[in-house]
Amino acid sequence: MEKWYRINDALLAAIDEHLQRLSEKKSRLDQRRPLSPSALERIKSELYLEWNHHSNAIEGNTLTLNETKVVLQDGLTIGGKSLREHLEIVGHNEAIAFVEQLAHPKYVLNGKDILELHNIIMHQVQKDIAGRIRNGAVRISGANFIPPAPHKVPELFDDMIYNIVSLNNTYHPILISALLHHRFVWIHPFFDGNGRVARLVMNLLLMSKGYPPAIILKEDRKKYYDALNKANHADYEKFFLLILQAAERSMNIYLGTFPDADHYDTISNIVSEPDVPYNSEYVSLLARRGKIDAYKEGKNWYTSKNAIKEYISGRKRVRKLK
């Protein structure tokens, strides 16, 4: 089997602080489990709705978040929107339910479940290709590569699964799920629906390890595609960072339900506090690079005073060691 992933020590060092921060947050969440049924249902309802909306919007679906909610919760159709767009939302919602059903600590990734996820999201949209590996060539607009020839896809698909399963406990779960996501998109095993299935399977691995789903926002579509293109040349840093930030945003939503949660606000509001020594530009740079605890909502970055204080304390510790 080909070893297609290459993660060097320099890359691991660059994202180590971010990984440690997420692991610490997961420990905090685990200590509070089980969450109350009402709180858990509220969080899941919010996150799964966002997951459905953003994953479909990245692929061109024009239903808004509120329209997605109306379709799923009220069973209504939206005027001016195509039947396909409605069916994409409904199918993806069923796929999320299937992911939640599969996700448990002993879950082992397999091809049958991936094919079933594809079948679920595509069976109402394009039944003839649902759950079937492609048998023809495809091209991806804007990508810097041509997906493998169809006769190579089954072997590459099986090799991907073998490698990902063999990586269990070798790297952080978020890195393993990100590697799977990228490799899946590179193989492009289906004629359509590859991006949505890649994000579903990535989150299946994350949820099996006790992490909430990482939701890539539609506002980050260009950044997402650019990061995937870099990963095609074994440059994973931007893609790992994007997934880490998406996972941290979801983790913060869970932790935000507790009374002692940090107070997050826009960066411009945080830096206006008299005891914050940095300006907006610098804090925004730290947020984009994953150097501080921060997350993105739409086009705005949010952080907390504690995140700034922890960053300052970390810099002081480094200076003392030197």
Q: Which of 168, 52, 196, 190 is nearest to 111 (CA)?
A: 190
Cα separation, 248 vs 19, in Å, equals 10
The active-site residue, picked from 104, 172, 188, 263, is 188
Cα separation, 83 vs 215, in Å, equals 25
Cα 246 from chain centre: 5
First-to-last CA distance in the chain? 44
Helices within 59-82 (DSSP H only): 65-69
Sheet with strand 294-297: strands edge to edge? 265-266, 300-303, 294-297
Let me know how many helices (H) and strands (E) the chain has, helices first.
13, 3
Please indicate whether residue 182 is annotated as part of the active site: no
Contacts of residue 154, defined as CB under 8 A and 6 or more positions apart, other chains included, come to 133
Question: Catalytic site residues?
Answer: 188
